[in-house]
Amino acid sequence: WEAVDTKNNVLYKINICGSVDVVQCGPSSAVCMHDLKTHTYHSVGDSVLRSATRSLLEFNTTVSCDRPGTNHRVQSSIAFLCGKTLGTPEFVTATECVHYFEWRTTAACRKDIFKAKKEVPCYVFDEELRKHDLNPLIKLSGAYLVDDSDPDTSLFINVCRDIDTLRDPDSQLRACPPGTAACLVRGDQAFNVGQPQEGLKLVRKDRLVLSYVREEAGELDFCDGHSPAVTITFVCPSERREGTIPKLTAKSNCRYEVEWITEYACHRDYLESKTCSLSGEQQDVSIDLTPLAQSGGSPYISDGKEYLFYLNVCGETETQFCNKKQAAVCQVKRNNTSQVKAAGRYQNQTLRYSDGDLTLIYFGGDECSSGFQRMSVINFECNKTAGKDGKGNPVFTGEVDCTYFFTWDTKYACVKEKEDLLCGAVDGKKRYDLSALVRHAEPEQNWEAVDGSQTETEKKHFFINICHRVLQAGKARGCPEDAAVCAVDKNGSKNL
C-alpha cells in the first residue's frame, strides 16, 4: 500500500501484516519512507515491533529520534476506521519522530456487512504523486451495465471487487455466479467472465486499467476455447464533465474491452485550510464547521477513562480548568483536576479533506515527558441524524505518544460533492446517456427555455441543467444553490 505526504514530497510504502519489498529500508520494514527531494529511504516502522489496540496500529523502530534530550524512537501510527471498501491509507501528519496515517476500511468493521469475496486496491499514484482513486465508483450492491449494441447479451461489471447480487432486486444479476466482478447475461443464463487479480494500474497520466480474468476451471462453450477476460480502461476527460456510462469498445472470443470516461480517473487534490472551513471549486466541495463552535463555557466533553477531554472547534475551550491556555483540546486528569494540559491549541489547526475523509488537527500543545508537544486528531464522520440537533459529540478513540485521536459524527461533516456519478437510464434493453447535455463551467452556459408568449415586462428566464445544478453565471447568478431548474424575473429567482 502507498500513501503520500504531498507537502514534503514523501512517498510511504506500507505493509500491515508483513514487510515492504524495498531493499533500502531493510528486510523487516513495515513502513518505508522515500524522500523524493533528497532521494533517501528510511524505515519508519518495523514489522517485528508492532503493537495494536482495537483501532490503532503502531510500528516502532530501533532508530533514535532526532529530538535532542530524549530516548524516543522513530515510529508510525495508523488509525483505523470502519469503511465500506478496502479503502486507502491516508497520510495525516508527521512530527519529528512519529508518522500518522488514517485508514477507512472494511477490515476495521466489527461486522462483515460490506466485506467482499474478492477486492483489490482501487487507487494509484502518478509520477507527480497525485492520487487517482476509483473507490467512489465501487458498488456495494448491484453492478454497472456496460453499454453494448448487442441486444441479446448484457455485460455487468463492478469496480475493483465482486458483484453483490444478493442485495440487488435485478433478476438478471441474481443469476450471476457468486464472486464474479464481470457477469455476462445471455438469455436466462449468467456467466462469470472475470474476477479482479491485481490492483488498479496507471498506463498513462489520464488512463487507468483494471484487468479481470475468469478463475474457474472449465471452458464456456461460446468462447471458442479461449478463457474469458475483461479489461476496463478508465479515462480522465480533458475538460470538466459528468461521467459517462461504461461502453464496450471491442469483443472477440470472450475478451471484452470496456472504456469508461469519468472524472474519478482524474487525480484528486488534497484540500487544506487553517480555518474552520474550506472549499474546492475543482472538487465541488464545500465544508464549514463553524456551527460546531461552542461559546459561553459549554465545551464538548469526551471520556478518555483516566482523563477527561474538553474540546471546542473554531475557538478556545472555555472552562474553569482550561482558562488562559488557548487550548482547543484540554486534557484534565480525572482524579486530580489541577493537572491540566493543552492537547492542541486553536491557533495551530489544520482542516484537511481528501477523498471523503475530513480531519481536523490541533497541534502545538503542552510538552509530554518525552519532549513531544501534545496534539489532537479529530476524524469527522457524516451523520445527518447526530444528536444535539446534528452537532453530535466527539468520542475519544485512543492515544499514541501524546497524540490523541477522536471520531466525531455530525451533520456538518456531510460534504456536498458531485451530485451524480452517471447521467443515464436503462429501460429494459434500451439505454439512454444524457451526459453530453450536462453543463459544468464557463465558457459553457446553462440551457434556457424560451417562452415567446410573454411580454418583455413580464418575461421570465427559465434556466435548466441536466443531472447537475444550474451554473451560477449570467442572469442565473443568485439562483438557489441546489436548483437544477431556476426561474428568474424582475422580482428575483425561484427554484423549480
CB crowding 414-437: b at 16 or more within 10 Å, else e: bbeeeeebbbbeeeeeebeeebee
Q: Are residues 368 and 467 in the same domain?
A: no
Q: Are residues 307 and 241 in the same domain?
A: no
Q: What is the pLDDT of residue 68?
A: 60
Q: Are residues 188 and 297 in the same domain?
A: no
Q: Are residues 63 and 186 in the same domain?
A: no
How do beta strands 144-145 and 153-157 pair? antiparallel
Q: Are residues 106 and 149 in the same domain?
A: no
Tell me how far apart the alpha carbons of residues 281 and 467 are, in angstroms, rounded to a whole number.
18
CATH of the domain at 401: 2.70.130.10
Q: At which of 262, 293, 312 does a domain end? A: 262
Per the model's pLDDT, the better-predicted residue between 444 and 180 turns out to be: 180
Predicted confidence (pLDDT) per residue in 74-99, tens digit: 999 998 888 888 989 999 888 878 89
Q: Are residues 155 and 242 in the same domain?
A: yes
Q: At which of 262, 284, 310 does a domain end? A: 262
Say if residue 188's pLDDT is above 90.
no
Q: Are residues 77 and 27 in the same domain?
A: yes
> What torsion, rounded to 10 degrees, do the Cα atoms 234, 235, 241, 245 define?
-40
Tell me how far apart the alpha carbons of residues 234 and 259 are, in angstroms, rounded to a whole number.
6
Q: Are residues 33 and 102 in the same domain?
A: yes
* Structural domain of 250: 135-262
Q: Are residues 367 and 488 in the same domain?
A: no
Which residues make beta-bridge pairs with 362?
349, 376
Reported confidence tier of residue 358, pLDDT bands at 50, 70, 90: confident
Tell me how far apart the alpha carbons of residues 100 and 402 are, in angstroms, rounded to a whole number.
12
Could you say which DSSP state residue 246 is in?
A: P
Does residue 269 form part of some domain?
A: no
Does residue 302 form part of some domain?
A: yes
Q: In what order do the strands lie in the sheet with 73-82?
A: 50-52, 56-64, 73-82, 98-105, 89-94
Amino acid letter, 355 = D
CA 196 from chain center: how many Å?
21
Q: At which of 209, 242, 262 does a domain end? A: 262
Domain tally for the chain? 4
Q: Are residues 392 and 443 in the same domain?
A: no
Report the sign of the C-alpha dihedral through residues 409, 412, 413, 415, in that order: positive
Name residue, grid cell 491549541. 345
Neighbours of 125 (CB within 10 A): 16
Predicted confidence (pLDDT) per residue in 282-338, tens digit: 555 778 899 998 876 688 999 988 899 999 998 888 877 887 778 899 999 988 888
- Which distant-in-sequence residues (6+ apart) come within 8 Å of 286 by Cβ? 277, 279, 415, 416
Tell me how far apart the alpha carbons of residues 260 and 7 are, in angstroms, rounded to a whole number.
31
Are the C-beta atoms of 76 and 59 separated by less than 8 Å?
yes
Q: What is the pLDDT of residue 418?
A: 43
